[in-house]
Structure 1
């Protein structure tokens, strides 16, 4: 899978020096393209034959496609907060849960870039805040010189201003752009704003790929086709920015990352610890700084992005960061930076506490709310796809894969061989042939929880939506008094230990 760039073999040692010895050359520009609610295998370069992503596919062909990249949370704001601080969700304070702020003392990596002379901009979905400073505390420094929501009439996908931001940037500074779309978050608006001249033909329901845990019916296929349309719109605007960078003559000096904050907003994806929710596409493109191209099967976590960017920019990495720089992976396809990747499932519309650890082949899931189903967030529950599964449930026609959407009680420990069971449908926990693997990963997960200050509070944030309909519950029925976020009782936001890696 490894293909050295034609004509650049003689430059490989120089490139390695450039990446490994920051400060020896002008710092690179950096752009994050972050999709909203898109699963890892819904890009063409990851094997999806139906979803059109030609621009991302070209970046992958001429860069590195990471095949073992994992999120720390399959939930919008906790995931984004984790990326920007380089920390696990429970180590970010209240931000472990949806729509909650990051503890104010924790630095964001764009702050450090800005202080180092970068022009920084956020265009599109933000979804990150800090707590108000307490007595004796200072507020966070400005992270972004420019912020806009990326929406205009005819394009509410969050990507409408990316080209303008790229064109109007100061030309005498390196830049960092956090380009975050709302595509493909429900409810779908891409269908009504479709520009066939730009995006190509609308996706046909007959062509979509229906995973085994969904119902293969007209309503679900239409739902997936609308989702694919938003994935394609995200891809199109990446291509617009790439062409502008090429026109400006700075594409080769710009490190691009393409990823998503969590899995698709369908049953058994978003908020799940399984790969359909927690695995992310991750494409890196940087002609002047990547020494090889192809597919990498090395394990990475999105908390590794922050130290990577600061490393190549020549900035000091804060002691609060728990991730590790990916620079060695950009130099050498055989390099490795971690043995394990960890993920969390905390409150997102519904009470939950789940933890996961991966070693590259096996996924072990730990669940402390076994009586509750993992049906997905409220927007997914309200979807046609989920409601079609409910109809099958009521008529007793669910397959085993589909029934997992409603399963309760759930196992406290589950073990999956992701290599031979890509959809994680067969629980190997308690199986004698895998007893050693289970024991090892349980020990690793327990050590990680202990060293990073994770905990299971006596009372977690309760459900705020109905689990059957996805409708909001009356406030009078919600008892949140005394609820705590994971790790809050142990002061986990003050703990910088990364745990095993």
Structure 2
């Protein structure tokens, strides 16, 4: 009996070890404030991203991946929990914590044997609690005196990890957040020459002048520095012989920190690059997939691949693991996004479906000029000068538009910058009705709401400077966050998918 029992135990242990060996390691490299089309593999004619391009060429490039918020901490909190921002409690708004009852992806992975680390920009907190050992084995801001992009300790983390566990690494850069420290920390032997203003491709909604080109060149330097360290991660994994069985994801938390990008519901703010590299798990390497993906799908995908049989019901996304097996597979039909307070009062909602983008704005009287750091930028100043001289193009004028339409509708393939609003076109009334009904269903089923008192502006809309409330005796009190009226942090229903 003892011999039989020992054999059974050995068999179970062997099966367990074999299963552990098959589970992929996971590395998420997430950039800060980089638009989807500012990577070479997504068509950028300016930014140099050879290492990310190489990963895409040997992996899978998603062409229809979307964020749930074009705002730093709400976006990251949404990804790490697999939930919509308004289902996170206070974290629907910038710099606010995730509700205490909501499980995090790294916590679940850690419970299933993964070694977990967050290196770089964390920006994710839990309500009434300190995020620590129950979630991450290692937390490090990743900044060194010669690198404030927060990437300096990524390779070190790979090298010093426990070798007897699969790992989940959240490598979060500060690049390309303003204020452009890559310029003064530039190492040409690593990154190549700095980007030249005269070589920049300027988006149609920005001014094409010297100041804007200089601003964009500095931004592209940060994109290239991020790319370099993503390449260093791939090299370190290869050196340890674990690259083949490591799923490496590359994406960004929101669009570039320029007017009509960051915080916007349009593609320039809400669409993200998503490159997956996993030689052992991607069936058709070097392919692209037009399958619609929401970033809330990342957590369920990783849990499935990690062998988590019964994930917590709080995760609202859909696994896109079938797309890794075949890029033609389709896992979702609809993707939803939000625009909540980020320096300025806002409440916007959007749904993407069948190539259409429908936007609804609950605060149409207010402009969508972008966050305060963008408003303070040389690029925004150049637009203001054109505005004051009555020389704005329609694309540029949209930055200042107020009131805005209550509804917007775009066929994105034919209007990639979303400049032609079809919401009032009778020819598209049926599609607008369908998408509006989808959005209503999502709002109802997920417990979204427009509170009576949203958080008000905390920065001046014209200058981007903090508001001086001492002159009005007004207190900078937070309003209600979206979803609070219906206690949406306790609602797990995903809405239409």
Superposition TM-score, scaled by structure 1 size: 0.93
The answer for the alignment partner of 1:314 in structure 2 is 307
Shift of 1:23: 4.3
Shift of 1:479: 4.6
- Write the deviation string for residues 461-482 of structure 1: whole angstroms up to 9, x where unpaired: 0000000000001244555557
Which among 176, 179, 184 is matched to residue 184 of structure 1? Answer: 176
> Does structure 1 residue 398 correspond to structure 2 residue 384?
no
Q: How does 1:79-158 map to 2 (within 5 A)?
A: 79-132=75-128, 142-158=134-150
The answer for the alignment partner of 1:4 in structure 2 is none
* Distance of 2:20 and 2:371 partners within structure 1: 47
The answer for the alignment partner of 1:371 in structure 2 is 365
Shift of 1:49: 1.6
* Distance of 1:24 and 1:471 partners within structure 2: 52
> Does structure 1 residue 253 correspond to structure 2 residue 248?
no
Which among 487, 491, 498 is matched to residue 494 of structure 2? Answer: 498
Which among 44, 56, 61 is matched to residue 65 of structure 1? Answer: 61
* Distance of 2:112 and 2:314 partners within structure 1: 18
- Write the deviation string for residues 365-423 of structure 1: whole angstroms up to 9, x where unpaired: 00000110000000000000001000100010000000000000000000011000000
2:20/2:166 contact within 8 Å kept: no
1:299/1:340 contact within 8 Å kept: yes
2:469/2:476 contact within 8 Å kept: no
* Distance of 1:62 and 1:153 partners within structure 2: 34
* Distance of 1:122 and 1:58 partners within structure 2: 25
1:107/1:140 contact within 8 Å kept: no
* Distance of 2:477 and 2:119 partners within structure 1: 36
Shift of 1:263: 0.1
Which among 458, 468, 472 is matched to residue 466 of structure 2? Answer: 472
1:104/1:139 contact within 8 Å kept: no
The answer for the alignment partner of 1:224 in structure 2 is 216
Shift of 1:26: 2.3
* Distance of 1:213 and 1:355 partners within structure 2: 22
* Distance of 1:116 and 1:500 partners within structure 2: 30
Shift of 1:360: 4.0
The answer for the alignment partner of 2:157 in structure 1 is 165
* Distance of 1:83 and 1:410 partners within structure 2: 29
> Does structure 1 residue 263 correspond to structure 2 residue 255?
yes
* Distance of 1:424 and 1:69 partners within structure 2: 17
Which among 40, 47, 54 is matched to residue 51 of structure 1? Answer: 47
CA 228–312 in structure 1, closer or farther in 2 if over 3 Å, else same: same
> Does structure 1 residue 389 correspond to structure 2 residue 383?
yes
Which among 347, 368, 388 is matched to residue 353 of structure 1? Answer: 347
Which among 410, 414, 421 is matched to residue 416 of structure 1? Answer: 410
The answer for the alignment partner of 1:3 in structure 2 is none
The answer for the alignment partner of 2:70 in structure 1 is 74
The more displaced of 382-391 and 314-323 is: 314-323
* Distance of 1:428 and 1:89 partners within structure 2: 27
1:110/1:176 contact within 8 Å kept: yes
* Distance of 1:155 and 1:484 partners within structure 2: 38
* Distance of 1:333 and 1:168 partners within structure 2: 35
1:80/1:127 contact within 8 Å kept: yes
The more displaced of 277-286 and 307-316 is: 307-316
CA 214–92 in structure 1, closer or farther in 2 if over 3 Å, else same: same
Q: Is the partner of 2:374 in helix, strand or coil?
A: helix
- Write the deviation string for residues 169-214 of structure 1: whole angstroms up to 9, x where unpaired: 1111111100000000001100000000000010000111100000
2:458/2:476 contact within 8 Å kept: no
Shift of 1:244: 1.0
User: How many residues of Structure 1 are paired with residues of Structure 2 in the alignment?
Assistant: 476
Q: Is the partner of 1:463 in helix, strand or coil?
A: coil
Q: Is the partner of 1:333 in helix, strand or coil?
A: coil
Spell out structure 1 runs of 4+ moving beyond 3 A: 22-25, 138-141, 475-482
* Distance of 1:223 and 1:375 partners within structure 2: 17
* Distance of 2:297 and 2:142 partners within structure 1: 26
The answer for the alignment partner of 2:297 in structure 1 is 304
Q: Is the partner of 2:244 in helix, strand or coil?
A: helix
The answer for the alignment partner of 1:244 in structure 2 is 236
* Distance of 1:438 and 1:165 partners within structure 2: 49
Tell me, which stretches of 5 or more residues in structure 1 are unaligned?
A: 1-21
Shift of 1:24: 8.3
Shift of 1:25: 5.3
* Distance of 1:479 and 1:431 partners within structure 2: 44
